[in-house]
């Protein structure tokens, strides 16, 4: 039963939480500020908050999403809530979700693998990308030589060395 419940929450992440927050992350991270669709951001925020409220209600019934013990069902949702916390600063109180997220985000694997990077490096002009977009002109994408130095620099920074938005 526990595995079935964990799978249920993984599916829910794919069909509810992921589609809700993806437009927010694409607009705020991958879209230049002057080209952002504020309506898409607003709608994504609303849908993501509604999904977070569903999680909060579930977490009022159990310590973790599928039961009172951590399971693989918590992992993909932990990633989504990391995005939620980072991208939607104005959100309603969710004490159960906050308790769960504090437990999830305190795990070493979370700190090493999830909170290490929020950004998507975006498309690059590589053979693999061209194969994925066969028949399309991808010459407008940057070459890896252009973007890799930035990513190397970013990964070498300590979290405290990177200014938070608005600082």
Token match 């998507």: residue?
120
> 140 or 20, which is more confident?
20
The mean pLDDT of 2-7, rounded to a whole number, is: 91
pLDDT tens-digit profile of 40-84?
A: 999 999 999 999 999 999 999 999 999 999 999 999 999 999 989
For the chain, the residue count is: 167
Handedness of CA 167, 158, 107, 14 (dihedral sign): positive
Q: What is the pLDDT confidence band of residue 167, given thresholds at 50, 70 and 90?
A: very low
Does pLDDT of 151 surpass 70?
Answer: no
Burial of 163 (0-12, 13-18, 19+ CB in 10 A): exposed
pLDDT for the residue 122: 64
CB distance 126 to 144 below 8 Å: yes
pLDDT for the residue 165: 46
pLDDT for the residue 32: 79
CA torsion, ordered 101, 104, 110, 111, to nearest 10 deg: 70
pLDDT for the residue 139: 87
Give dist(CA 98, CA 25) in Å, integer: 20
């Amino acid at each position: 039963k526990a595995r079935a419940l964990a799978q249920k929450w993984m599916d829910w992440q794919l069909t509810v939480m992921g589609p809700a927050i993806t437009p927010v992350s694409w607009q705020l991270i991958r879209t230049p500020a002057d080209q952002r669709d504020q309506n898409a951001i607003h709608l994504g925020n609303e849908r993501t908050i509604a999904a977070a409220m569903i999680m909060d209600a579930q977490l009022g019934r159990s310590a973790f999403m599928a039961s009172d013990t951590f399971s693989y069902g918590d992992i993909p949702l932990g990633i989504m809530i990391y995005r939620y916390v980072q991208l939607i600063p104005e959100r309603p109180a969710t004490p159960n979700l906050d308790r769960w997220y504090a437990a999830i985000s305190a795990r070493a694997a979370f700190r090493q693998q999830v909170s290490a990077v929020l950004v998507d490096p975006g498309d690059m002009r590589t053979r693999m990308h061209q194969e994925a977009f066969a028949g399309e002109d991808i010459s407008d994408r940057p070459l890896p030589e252009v973007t890799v130095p930035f990513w190397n620099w970013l990964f070498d920074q300590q979290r405290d060395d990177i200014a938070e938005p608005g600082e």
